[in-house]
């Protein structure tokens, strides 16, 4: 039976405790432990039960306890101090620090399918969401103008538990929005603010929730409203749940609905950042909206959207990118294409590597790449892999010129560092380390911390981890109906002084969680060495449909039951932010074993660094950039074998060799005071060199200054004078398209090309037939560099050629100079592209002319 009427009950706080409500309603508490400590003091058991959700706690704590707190002078004093700190932090949101830095009004809208901000708001599954959450936190700390857009899931991602055979089971728990720090936006009449999208011609109502991430608003879209039929309400039920039709509906809500939400709320971003391809429909909706509101042509609206879009791809394998069949697209987008004034086939072409292939499905990553002036991978290697993956989108450019840049991910250090380590840094680095974690000068002072204090602080984190793991293991055993003997074993598992290896991540097969089990006898010897033992803690979820990933979990749990390993291996269920923090803070080694080239970045290893956890990893993702033998270990040397079984054998042996010959001896090499000083030196070296680089403050500033500010400037240029710039740019592009095929290069001449002395230069001239174009419409460049034995460019450099005289027949004479800076075999060619002064990046046109053998 359904209720006749609905109502919400909210906590009734005495006036003196009213600041608690301010602190509970902002996710700032997620990276300021003093707030969490305050709420835990109210009722420790309730705080734990709530998954550290202050709104839930305030709604459940009894009134008598609140009255006790009114008389607790110590609590009131701490509440006043913490609230003043929060108020001071939030007061700075009225400043636009970025405008002071750059002179540009810049507001970025950051779209992501998931956000991992605090444990209790379960709208994340893994690394992508955690990264998005850290992005918002750093934008808040930096006071950069940004808004977030995502979906609010009724059930979120699944809770994991294992059956008696070690097989992963999933259950979905409902999010109680009334007891979360989220607000349903209402209009002046108290009705929910909504926007509308369409599914197959059927109107769909979307309501809007908001939470504050420090100074940054995060808007969450929800289809679970009575205005929608049951099958539509389910659209935003589960993160990554359901079939492809549910997925396309979710991405319509996120992309198209997200743009409409910003418009409905009067928020006017001039930069849009798509974090992965899930939100790529936002680019289409922006075009349609500009056509409608500004009376722009499709071409003019597209120019404005491309110039102000940023796209980050995270997936280094084709199967990880969302692809929809033509038949599914036909169910949802023909009418939408009509509202844009384009044919449905034209819309499909934007999502195809080959726009003319009617059999190719529609790819969200391709759509985002075609409609973004700025695109990037999330590590140096991932950027290179992405260039190769998507080279067909730019068929006339060599792979090294594919416009996918690199912005290596980072982590929000205040979120991931232990409280003990944070307090230690406060004492020796000064409290500003948290405000300025990307300042290299701050981390250069790490040697001021005595070795003994740093080691003791890390040891406390390991002790906390072992205590937490034992409690979690006992609860897991109880839930499976374990015997008394098994419960006792859970309480004595692991040891607080043993070398501890942590492995926590998604259980996809390419991450090779069981690589360390390749030689079980050798592993058992390591685990049970009487003088220098090792223990390993595993955690992670497999996708509900990934049976191979579930088999890996089962294999680990079965191995952990061997009596002869003395509880030295455990698997902790239901990997989450809370569990991740414990393992990252308390492990001595963070193990990462992906197949090289398949880990886009892998930020989990970064989170261990400020906690004193060292990395042992395959040279993939961020570790290629971060690795140095002074503070970590590389598994292999970056080789990729055609025989994967052979590669697994080689790299598993490398793991055993590193543990036996380097890691274990170094960890147990203790001085008279019991401190492993060479190990502690590695901890300090890692902190000094890596913390300033691999953090999200650096990452957000890089996105902002490399992409956001330039995109905002382009918005200003193209939108002024009633969008005249966008219209002119569309006309100019049409002129390029009309004349481009008639461009030709002839009479290429160069001076002496044999035995040129170092420090000289090579003069090169050419005649360019520009057809109906002018010199200012194009960039004519010398494309040169060293050659390999196949006479292919090993590296390439570019020197712009200058236009000199015109022969009156449409032939423009050009001259340029190649510097000869070093010895070796070199070559050059000539490349013509649209003018970079007219476009944020000329690659978005797909136009290029190369000199060929017939031009001599």
> CB-based contacts of 805: which residues, under 8 Å, 6+ apart?
812, 813
Give yes or no for residue 524 having a pLDDT over 70.
yes
| 349 in Cβ contact with 329 (< 8 Å) | no
Computed over every residue of the chain, the mean pLDDT equals 93
254, 332, 441 from 199: Cα distances, Å: 13, 6, 54
* Length of the chain in terms of residues written: 856
Beta strands in 619-737 (DSSP E): 632-635
- pLDDT-derived band at 103 (thresholds 50, 70, 90) equals confident
Give the pLDDT band of residue 781 (cuts 50, 70, 90): very high
Residue 772: CB atoms within 10 A of its CB come to 13
pLDDT tens per residue across span 442-485: 899 999 999 999 999 999 999 999 999 999 999 999 888 888 88
**CA–CA dist 79, 730 (Å, integer):** 58
Looking at residue 258, what is its pLDDT?
98
Average the pLDDT over 789-817 and give the result.
89
Q: What is the 3-state secondary structure (H, E, C) of 43-74?
A: CHHHHHHCCCCHHHHHHHCCHHHHHHHHCCHH
Q: Are 537 and 465 in contact (CB under 8 A)?
A: yes
pLDDT band, residue 853 (cuts 50/70/90) = low
The model's confidence at residue 694, banded by pLDDT at 50, 70 and 90, is very high
Please state which of the ranges 658-672, 673-687, 733-747, 753-767 shows the lowest mean pLDDT.
753-767
Quick one: pLDDT band at residue 156, thresholds 50, 70, 90? confident
User: What's the mean pLDDT in 274-293?
Assistant: 97
Sequence-distant (6+) residues with CB within 8 A of 640 are: 596, 597, 647
DSSP string, 224-283: -STTS-HHHHGGGSBTT-S-HHHHHHHHHIIIIIHHHHHHHTT---SEEEEESGGGTHHH
- C-alpha dist (Å) from residue 726 to 495, 665, 719, 771: 65, 65, 6, 24
> Which band of pLDDT confidence, cut at 50, 70 and 90, is reported for residue 5?
low
Structure tokens at 264: 């409905």
Model confidence band, residue 757 (pLDDT cutoffs 50, 70, 90): confident
Residues 797, 787: contact at Cβ < 8 Å?
Answer: no
Gap between the Cα atoms of 677 and 579, Å rounded: 29
pLDDT in tens, 587-627: 999 999 999 999 999 999 999 999 999 999 999 999 999 99
Q: pLDDT value at position 236?
A: 96
What's the confidence (pLDDT) of residue 490? 85
Tell me: pLDDT of 259 over 80: yes
Cβ(651)–Cβ(515) below 8 Å:
yes
Strand partners of residue 781: 800, 831
What are the tens digits of pLDDT across the range 6-16? 656 666 789 99
Whole-number pLDDT of residue 144: 94
Measured distance CA(373)–CA(127) in Å, rounded: 25
Spatial separation of the C-alpha atoms in residues 34 and 776, rounded to whole Å? 59
The answer to whether residues 603 and 131 touch, using CB atoms and an 8 Å cutoff, is yes
Predicted TM-score (pTM) of this structure: 0.95
Burial label, 723 (beta-carbon count in 10 A; 0-12, 13-18, 19+)? buried
SS3 798: strand
Q: What pLDDT is stored for residue 11 in this prediction?
A: 63
pLDDT band at 92 (very low <50, low <70, confident <90, very high): confident
**Buried-exposed string 324-333: b where 16+ CB fall within 10 A, e elsewhere:** bebebbeebb
Residue 701 tokens, joined: 């500033």
Q: Is the pLDDT of residue 503 over 70?
A: yes
In this predicted structure, the answer to whether residue 856 has a pLDDT above a threshold of 80 is no
Please determine, for residue 855, whether its predicted confidence score (pLDDT) is greater than 60: no
In the predicted model, is pLDDT for residue 159 greater than 60? yes
Question: 10 Å Cβ neighbour count for 64?
Answer: 7
pLDDT value at residue 563: 81
Q: Give the pLDDT confidence of 364-406 residue by residue, as tens digits.
A: 999 999 999 999 999 999 999 999 999 999 999 999 999 999 9
Q: How many CB atoms lie within 10 A of CB 72?
A: 13
Instruction: Supply the pLDDT for residue 116.
Output: 96
Q: For the residues of 148-160, what is the DSSP string, one character each?
A: EEEE--SSBSPEE
Percent of the chain with pLDDT over 90: 82
Q: Is 12 exposed, middle or buried (0-12, 13-18, 19+ CB in 10 A)?
A: exposed
Q: Which two tokens stand for residue 355?
A: 């726009």
Q: How high is the pLDDT of residue 101?
A: 85
How far, in Å, CA of 331 to CA of 257, rounded?
18
Q: Which residue has the tokens 């857009």?
A: 149
User: Is the CA virtual torsion 269, 273, 279, 281 positive or negative?
Assistant: positive
- Read off φ and ψ for residue 691, nearest 5 degrees: -60, -40
Calpha distance 462→464 (Å, rounded): 5
What's the confidence (pLDDT) of residue 840? Answer: 80
166-186, pLDDT tens digit by residue? Answer: 999 999 988 889 889 999 999
DSSP-H helix ranges across 492-640: 520-528, 547-560, 577-586, 604-608, 623-626
pLDDT value at residue 854: 52
- List the beta bridge partners of residue 198: 203
Instruction: Give dist(CA 114, CA 135) in Å, integer.
Output: 12
Res 282: pLDDT: 98
Q: pLDDT tens-digit profile of 47-85?
A: 998 889 999 999 899 989 999 999 999 999 999 999 999
On the question of pLDDT at 351 being above 90, the answer is: yes
């Amino acid at each position: 039976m359904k209720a006749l009427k609905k109502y919400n009950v909210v906590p009734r706080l005495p006036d003196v405790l009213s600041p608690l409500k301010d602190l509970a309603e902002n996710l700032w508490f997620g990276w300021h432990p003093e707030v969490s400590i305050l709420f835990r003091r109210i009722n420790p058991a309730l705080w734990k039960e709530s998954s550290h959700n202050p709104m839930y706690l305030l709604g459940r704590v009894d009134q008598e306890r609140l009255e006790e707190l009114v008389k607790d002078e110590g609590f009131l004093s701490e509440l006043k101090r913490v609230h003043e700190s929060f108020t001071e932090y939030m007061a700075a949101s009225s400043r636009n620090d970025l405008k002071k830095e750059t002179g540009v009004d810049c507001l970025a809208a950051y779209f992501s399918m998931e956000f991992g901000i605090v444990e209790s708001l379960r709208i994340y599954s893994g690394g992508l969401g955690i990264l998005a959450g850290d992005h918002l936190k750093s934008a808040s700390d930096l006071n950069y103008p940004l808004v977030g857009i995502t979906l609010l899931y009724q059930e979120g991602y699944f809770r994991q538990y294992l059956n008696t055979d070690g097989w992963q089971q999933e259950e979905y728990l409902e999010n109680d929005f009334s007891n979360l720090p989220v607000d349903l936006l209402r209009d002046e009449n108290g009705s929910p603010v909504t926007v509308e999208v369409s599914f197959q011609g059927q109107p769909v109502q979307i309501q809007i929730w908001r939470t504050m991430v420090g100074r940054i608003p995060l808007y969450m879209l929800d289809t679970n409203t009575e205005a929608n039929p049951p099958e539509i309400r389910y659209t935003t039920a589960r993160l990554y749940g359901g079939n492809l039709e549910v997925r396309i509906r979710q991405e319509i809500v996120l992309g198209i609905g997200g743009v409409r939400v910003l418009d409905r709320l009067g928020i006017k971003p001039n930069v849009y950042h798509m974090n992965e391809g899930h939100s790529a429909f936002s680019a289409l909706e922006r075009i349609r909206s500009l056509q409608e509101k500004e009376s722009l042509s499709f071409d003019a609206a597209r120019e404005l959207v491309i110039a102000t879009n940023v796209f980050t791809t995270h997936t280094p394998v084709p199967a990880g990118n969302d692809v929809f069949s033509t038949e599914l697209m036909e169910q949802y987008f023909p009418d939408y294409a009509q509202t844009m004034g384009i044919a449905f086939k034209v819309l499909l072409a934007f999502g195809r590597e080959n726009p003319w292939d009617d059999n190719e499905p529609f790819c969200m990553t391709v759509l985002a790449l075609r409609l973004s002036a700025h695109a990037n991978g999330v590590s140096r290697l991932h950027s290179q892999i992405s260039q190769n993956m998507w080279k067909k989108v730019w068929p006339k450019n060599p792979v090294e010129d594919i416009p996918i840049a690199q912005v290596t991910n980072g982590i929000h250090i205040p979120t991931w560092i232990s409280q003990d380590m944070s307090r230690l840094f406060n004492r020796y680095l000064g409290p500003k380390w948290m405000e300025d974690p990307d300042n290299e000068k701050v981390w250069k002072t790490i040697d001021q911390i005595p070795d003994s204090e740093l080691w003791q602080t890390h040891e406390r984190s390991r002790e906390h981890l072992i205590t937490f793991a034992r409690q979690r293991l006992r609860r897991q055993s109880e839930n499976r109906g374990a015997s008394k003997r098994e419960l006792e074993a859970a309480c004595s598992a692991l040891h607080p002084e043993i070398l501890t290896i942590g492995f926590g991540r998604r259980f996809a097969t390419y991450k090779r969680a069981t690589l360390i089990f390749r030689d079980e006898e050798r592993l058992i010897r390591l685990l049970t060495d009487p003088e220098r033992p090792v223990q390993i803690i595993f955690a992670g979820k497999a996708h509900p449909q990934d049976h191979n990933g579930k088999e890996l979990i089962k294999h680990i749990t079965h191995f952990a039951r061997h009596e002869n390993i003395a509880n030295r291996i455990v698997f902790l269920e239901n990997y989450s932010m809370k569990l991740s923090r414990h393992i990252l803070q308390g492990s001595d080694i963070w193990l990462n074993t992906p197949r090289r080239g398949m880990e886009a970045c892998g930020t989990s290893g970064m989170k261990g660094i400020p906690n004193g956890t060292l990395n042992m990893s395959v040279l993939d993702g961020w570790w290629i950039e971060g690795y140095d033998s002074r503070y970590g270990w590389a598994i292999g040397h970056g080789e990729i074998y055609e025989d994967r079984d052979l590669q697994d054998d080689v790299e598993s042996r490398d793991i055993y060799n590193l543990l036996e010959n380097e890691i274990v001896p170094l960890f147990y090499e203790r001085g008279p005071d019991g401190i492993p000083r060479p190990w502690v030196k590695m901890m300090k070296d890692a902190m000094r060199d890596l913390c300033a680089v691999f953090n999200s403050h650096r990452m957000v500033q890089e996105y902002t200054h490399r992409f956001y500010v330039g995109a905002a400037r382009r918005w200003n240029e193209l939108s002024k004078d009633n969008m005249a710039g966008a219209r002119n740019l569309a006309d100019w592009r049409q002129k390029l398209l009309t004349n481009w095929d008639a461009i030709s290069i002839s009479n290429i001449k160069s001076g002496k090309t044999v035995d040129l002395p170092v420090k000289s230069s090579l003069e090169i001239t050419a005649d360019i037939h520009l057809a109906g174009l002018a010199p200012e419409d194009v960039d004519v460049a010398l494309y040169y560099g060293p050659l390999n034995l196949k006479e292919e460019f090993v590296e390439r450099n570019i020197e712009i050629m200058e236009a000199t005289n015109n022969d009156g027949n449409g032939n423009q004479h050009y001259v340029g100079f190649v510097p000869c800076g070093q010895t070796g075999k070199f070559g050059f060619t000539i490349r013509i592209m649209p003018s970079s002064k007219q476009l944020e990046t000329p690659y978005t046109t797909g136009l290029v002319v190369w000199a060929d053998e017939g031009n001599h």
